Every structure is written in C-alpha cells, then in structure tokens.
A and B are shown apart, each in its own frame.
Chain A
Amino acid sequence: MKRHPVLLVAVSVVATLASVYATGCGASRSARSLAAEKVYVAPGELDKYYAFLSGGQSGSVFVVGVPSGRLIREIPVFEPRAAYGYAMSDSDPRRQELVATGGVWGDTHHPVLSETDGMPDGKYLWINDLANGRLARIRLDYFEADRILKLPNMQGAHGIAVVSPNTKYIVVNGEFELPTDGLVTNPAPYTSLVSFVDPDAMEVKFQVRVNGNIDIADTSKDGRYSFSTVYNLEQGNTMGAMIQYDRDAVAAIDIPAAEKAVAAGRGEVRNGVPILDPEQNPGVLTLIAVPKNPHGINVTPDGRYAIAAGKLSPTVTIIDAHTLKIVAEPEVGLGPLHTTFDDRGNAFTSLFLDSQVVKWNIDKAVKGSPDYIVDRINVHYNIGHLQAVGGDHLHPAGDYLIALNKLSKDMYMPVGPDLPENQEIIDISGEKMKMLASFPTPPEPHDATFMAVSVLKPLVHQTYTPADNAVQAGKERVVRTGPHAVTVDMTLIRSAYTPDSFQVREGDQVTLKITNIETIRDMIHGLAVPDHNLNIALAPGYTKTVTFDAGQPGVYWFYCTNFCSALHLEMRGRMVVQPKDGAVILTDWHAAENVKGQVVPGVPSTGDSK
C-alpha cells in the first residue's frame, strides 16, 4: 500500500465518502422513522387530540386527529351537505335559519370552545361567518350545529373569543365599518362594533363602538378585559389609506364597566341591542398603541400578558394584561401574525413573510435579555395562524403545534390550479422544534383549537334517543290530511322502509316523517327520492320531517343512500304519483291493521294492491 500513495488516498476518500453517505442516510432514515413513529396511529387506535379547524369558504368545521393529521369528519355549518342530510330541504330548521340570515354559504375563520375554569368542557364550539356576519354554535355531544345567529348592526364577523374562565360571553369583532348613524350610505364617519353574545341564549347582549377595523379577539383569563386588534385607525377606505399610520391599536374593553354602563341605560339601542359609545362612557374602552396594522392578539396562559403581532412591523408588542401598559416590543421576524404558547414560558409566533415559526422566551423578552429567541423552523409556505395544544386555554400541553399555512405550492402532487391547503404538525416538546408531518385539507382552514380525546370522547353520543314525536314501529301510516296534502309516517331499519310504498296525486304536498329505529351505532340509513331534489340521511334514533311537492305522475323508487347492510341495494320503496284525476289506491294505510302476525322487517305490507 505504501508504494501506491494515490491508491491509498483514493481508497480513503471513497471510504470516508461512503461512511459519511451511510451515516448521513442512516441518520436521515432514523429521523424519518422517529417522525413517522410520532404521528403513526395504527388502525383501531385513537389519536390523542381532537383538532377543530375552521373550514374557511367550505363554511364548515374540519375535525382532524392529532398527531396523525387524519381528517375524521367535516361538520357542516353554513353550507348544506347532502351526505349528512344537513340543511337540504326547505323545511329543515337549519336551512331556514341559513336562508333567513344571509345565505347557504359562509366563510368560517375562528373556532372557539366553551370553557369551564379556563379549560374546554366539551359542551359547545362556536364559529364565525365573516361574509354574512353570523355566529354559529355546534353542540359537541352530537357534533352538529344547533343555532345560527345573525349579528345585528354589524358587518363582517371576524375574530371571536370566549370570555374566560366560564364562558360568560362570546366576543365577536365586526371587521367592516358601517355608517355611525345606521343609515345606508350617509358619508358620516364609519364605525365598527364589538358584540358580546350570550352563549346559551345566542343573543347579542350589548355592543361597543370602535373607530377602525376590528380584527382578532382574545380575552383576559380572569374575565375582566376583551382584547381586539384594531387596524386602519386612519379609517381609510382604500388600501393605501389603511396603512398610513405607524401605529394602530389594541382595544381593551373593560367588561364589568361595559355591563354597568348598559345596565344604567347608557347605550343607544338599535335593533334591540344597546350600543355603547366609548366617548360617552369613559373607562369602557382603552386603546393601546401598537404597530402597525396589528393582526393577532393572544393572552398568555398565565394571564399576565396580551401579545399583539405587528403584521406590517417585525415586532410583537407585549402588553401587561392588568395595567394595559406596554412592557416590551421585541423584534421576531417579518410578518408576525399570531402567537401561541407551551407550558414552559415560551411563545411561538407565526411569521408570514419569513414563512417560519419563531420560538421565543417571554420572560427574557420582557426583561430585555438579548437571547430571547430560542429557535426558528421553516414552514411551507407562508403561515397564517398557528395553535399549540392548549395554547389558547389555561393549561397548555406543550407537545404539538399545528401551523396553518396559506400556500402549499409544491407540497403535494399537482391537482390543477386550485391547490389544497397545507397544515403542518410540529413537535414542540423539546428545546428545538421538530417538523413531524403535513396534511392537506380542502380550502381553507384559518385557525384551530384542540380538545383531548380522553376528555371529550366520553361526552359524545353515537346514537340518538328517539324524540317524543318519533315514529314507532307498528304505528306507521299514510293519511290524506287535505285535498292536496298527504302525510306519511315511516320507520326504517335494516333493510326496509315501512311502509315500502305509498301513493299520492299530482299536485299533492307530501309531508314525510321518518324515524330510523335502529339502536346500534353506525347503522345510518338514507332516503333519496329521484327527481325530487331530496336526500335524507338518518343516524340511529333520528327523526326527520320533510315537506315536498309530488312531481309528475309516475313511479319514483326511493332508496337508501347511506350504506347500511347486506341488503342495502334491496332497501328500496315506491312513491307512486297518480295523475290529477287518477284513482289513488291506498289513500289511508295504517301499519297495525295491515300486517298479519309478527312485524318482521322486510315483509311487504299487505295494504298495497298492485
């Protein structure tokens, strides 16, 4: 070997490169395996957390499992969804609410959970509709929307927050300004409104005027203040005008003071809601000057600080949540938007322009210590909101953080010009942040909030208790209730409808009340009537009443749309529409009279004459 130094050198170089390559690959393989293990949830296992993501213009809430990032289901809110039988027919109460309050679509941004003692209690989730100025409530025992409220006097419901610690109000920021005196187009000064909504009655109790566009909301942990970022104090109407000032504000509303003023009758009542003018009610509103078109506002879990993100200023402003004084304004990076927290005194701020999450230590930043920045991690791409598990509640978990990114670019295979949204799951349990996984969703989640599966799972029902008006087996019937009206009371259970056929006349209005009398979970059935724009989806125990007009004379085979059983394809029935002057056989049919012997599912009723 000594006689061939070139060979020796060559072999050493190759050996070194080979070992570097091997360990490098091996290291990246093990980093991949570690990350994969952290997010892998095997079939039959459950995730650790429910993540509730706003659906954006999907008008819904996405429920995602963490750490796997799997979409578990979508909860429809502002948009009808045939697959869930949600808000489909004109007689559906949710559809009626939607149509009466601005339309059958919505732009949802911010999900917030009901709290007891500062922690989510699993009762409700509220979500806003920016476009139509609405607030919706979802009950978490059945994961369904139960109330939709149109907020009076305001336009553009954007940031919302729960007044801690026991959900006294839901605070809703009206983002768009309307003429002060409520007239349509009077060029008098504009103003925006912050609404305080009673969470149980879903009614606005009072509103507070703020001059400027009100953006994101949070509340102090003791229920004293609501904090809202306000941009465009310039009150400009064009983009150029909106960014003139170096400082806009955080609006802190003293809730007890506001309540006192309302009780004393000092609000101007419009559409049944008292509106407080801060100029007439000193002490209700304090404006804290922060740079510059600030966006996010987040209160630390210990309640000490409210942190406003500068958006057009590379700083976050740390405000003492009790004295309302600014204590520090550290630089964090370009385009700060939102902040969340772990359980060890750290804050995580999203940087839209830097496309990063920056981790910084709150105490060090407040003290002015130069090493307050702990870590940075790149996200893909251009992050908007971020949320750590429990970062918005009293006891953060400090384990996972979700980055909600605005652009997905090359993260997924091409699916045409409408790219999916990209969310990323980051491990924040250590000193340095680690990227674990990404998951796509349809457009367009904005924000997220979490609940532990161990807390929420026992509270969730998977079947319904039949209501008082449910149709019972053996009590099904078809009755003519008027010259042009027929009522059908129907039950369904694997794999049959009872009655499995009924006759009506052209021009009849049919009221179909149908109950799924299954008792075992996941035995969801459907009923779709061809050519009548009708699909009903029914979970076990659920009763639905729909009213529709019988179409052209003919035979319409209604069938089960939700896969149920081995005889799913055979689960079918007939609606026969006779011509106006035709004879309708089976004008009046009652189950009990017509079934001989034991009621057995699948046996055709003998009242039908063919």
Chain B
Amino acid sequence: MYVAAAAFAAAALVLPLWGFSMSAPQYPDETLHLRVQRSGIVGDVQEIETLQHYVGVRFPTDMPELKWATRAIAASAVLLLLGAFVGRGAGAHVYRVGCAVAFVMFLVASAAVVQARLYQVGHERDPHSPLRGMHDFTPPLIGPAKVGNFTVWSFPHAGAVLLLAAAALTIAGSRRRAA
C-alpha cells in the first residue's frame, strides 16, 4: 500500500495539480481551460489573460508555493516508499503514523494555500480596470463561481486527486499494520 501511495505521489509530480474551466454564453463549444502545474499555469492562458484584463484580475506573478510543493511531494514519495520497507515493529508503526499525519497536514496546508490564492485573485484586482461594477469574489476551493458573464469551475486535477488517494492509502496502511 505504501508502495502504491509512493507511486501516486511520484506521479503527482508530473501531472497537473489544479484545474479551472470557464464557460460563458458567447463561447459555445469553446469552454476555456487552465491547469496549474509544477512549472506554472498552462492552458488557454492568452485568451483568459485577455479577458481578465477587462475586470482587472491578474494571475499571480510569482508562485513560490509550487516550488515548495514540488519538494514536499518528492520528499513524501521517498518517505512513503521507505514506509513500505520498515517492517512491522512498534517503531515502524510510529513511522507510518507519523507519515500519515505529516502527509495529511501537508495536503490540508496545500488546500489552504490554494484557497488563499483564489481569494487573492478575486480581491487583489487592478483598481483601474475598464469594467465598473464588478464585485470582488472568492472562488470556492472546489465548485463554481460567477465572475461577470463567466461561470468558473475550480477543481483538483489528476495530480491532486492522486495525492488524496495516496493520503487515503497512507492512513489505511498505518492503521492496518498496527493490528
């Protein structure tokens, strides 16, 4: 199980972590997509930046959390892999529980950071943007938000889903062996 969890974590290094989809009536069959990856934001970036300009929304210029997240996921993968080989003793059990706790704390912290970024994007808007009457907004971590004429969906992408699965495996793995 820990091997699987480690594999999932390793896969999360290369897969997109978070995703956004944006749709509006005048973009029929043309839903716009964004993905947050290790390297930054990719997808329909040019079109979305062009649209964001009207309401003063800006992509964060610098996202140090991506670098930290990469390091944390890589470290987790290694630690989880070790968790498969530490045996059955009491020390091993402590190690595994420790892994599970640390991993879950890392995921909770990541979720908080994502939510904070979402808040930032909706509130730190350019005050001189062309369109008036747009209210500050906070997109939910997972779910839809109405931004002007767009419906924006925020959701964990493949990488984040695998990390969640890895967390579940880690927890399950640490409890079973205790028995």
A residues whose Cβ falls under 8 Å from a Cβ of B:
493-494, 517-521, 566-567, 570, 598, 600-602
Contact = CB atoms under 8 A, between A and B. Distances in A.
A482 to B, nearest CB: 35
Given A519-B46, A520-B27, 14 more contacts: A493-B50, A517-B46, A518-B50, A519-B47, A566-B131, A567-B54, A567-B130, A570-B130, A598-B61, A600-B53, A601-B50, A601-B53, A602-B53, A602-B130
A64 to B, nearest CB: 23
Best-surrounded residue of A518, A520, A598 (most CB of chain B within 10 A): A520
Interface in B99-142: 130-131
Interface of B: 27, 30, 46-47, 50, 53-54, 61, 130-131
Best-surrounded residue of B27, B30, B54 (most CB of chain A within 10 A): B54
Mostly, the A contact residues are loop
Contacts of B131: 566
Contact of A494 (B27, B30, B50, B61): B50
Contacts of B46: 517, 519
Contacts of A567: 54, 130
Contacts of A601: 50, 53
Given A566-B54, A600-B53, A601-B53, A520 B130 contact: no
A45 to B, nearest CB: 13
Contacts of B61: 598
A500 to B, nearest CB: 15
Contacts of B27: 520
A567 B54 CA distance: 9
A524 to B, nearest CB: 14
A518 B51 CA distance: 12
Nearest to A597: B61
List 8 tightest A-B contacts by C-beta distance, closest first.
Answer: A494-B50, A520-B47, A567-B130, A601-B53, A566-B54, A493-B50, A519-B46, A601-B50
A474 to B, nearest CB: 12
A566 B50 CA distance: 12
Contacts of A566: 54, 130-131
A16 B130 CA distance: 71
Contacts of A518: 50
20 contacts: A493-B50, A494-B50, A494-B53, A517-B46, A518-B50, A520-B27, A520-B30, A520-B47, A521-B30, A566-B54, A566-B130, A566-B131, A567-B130, A570-B130, A598-B61, A600-B53, A601-B50, A601-B53, A602-B53, A602-B130
A520 B27 CA distance: 9
Contacts of A521: 30
A598 B46 CA distance: 13
A521 B53 CA distance: 19
Contacts of B30: 520-521
A148 to B, nearest CB: 35
A565 to B, nearest CB: 8
A520 B46 CA distance: 10
Contacts of A598: 61
A497 to B, nearest CB: 14
Contacts of A517: 46
B29 to A, nearest CB: 10
A601 B131 CA distance: 15
Best-surrounded residue of B27, B30, B47, B131 (most CB of chain A within 10 A): B47
Contacts of A520: 27, 30, 47
A521 B27 CA distance: 10
A274 B27 CA distance: 55
A337 B30 CA distance: 48
B39 to A, nearest CB: 17
Contacts of A493: 50
Nearest to A600: B53
Nearest to A570: B130
Contacts of A602: 53, 130
A602 B30 CA distance: 25
Nearest to A496: B53
A602 B52 CA distance: 12
A597 to B, nearest CB: 9
A458 to B, nearest CB: 13
A153 B54 CA distance: 59
A519 to B, nearest CB: 6
A494 B27 CA distance: 16
Contacts of B47: 519-520
Contacts of B53: 494, 600-602
A520 B47 CA distance: 7
Nearest to B126: A600
A494 B46 CA distance: 11
A519 B30 CA distance: 12
B172 to A, nearest CB: 46
A246 to B, nearest CB: 61
A602 B61 CA distance: 18
A409 to B, nearest CB: 41
Contacts of A570: 130
A600 B130 CA distance: 13
A461 to B, nearest CB: 15
B144 to A, nearest CB: 22
A525 to B, nearest CB: 12
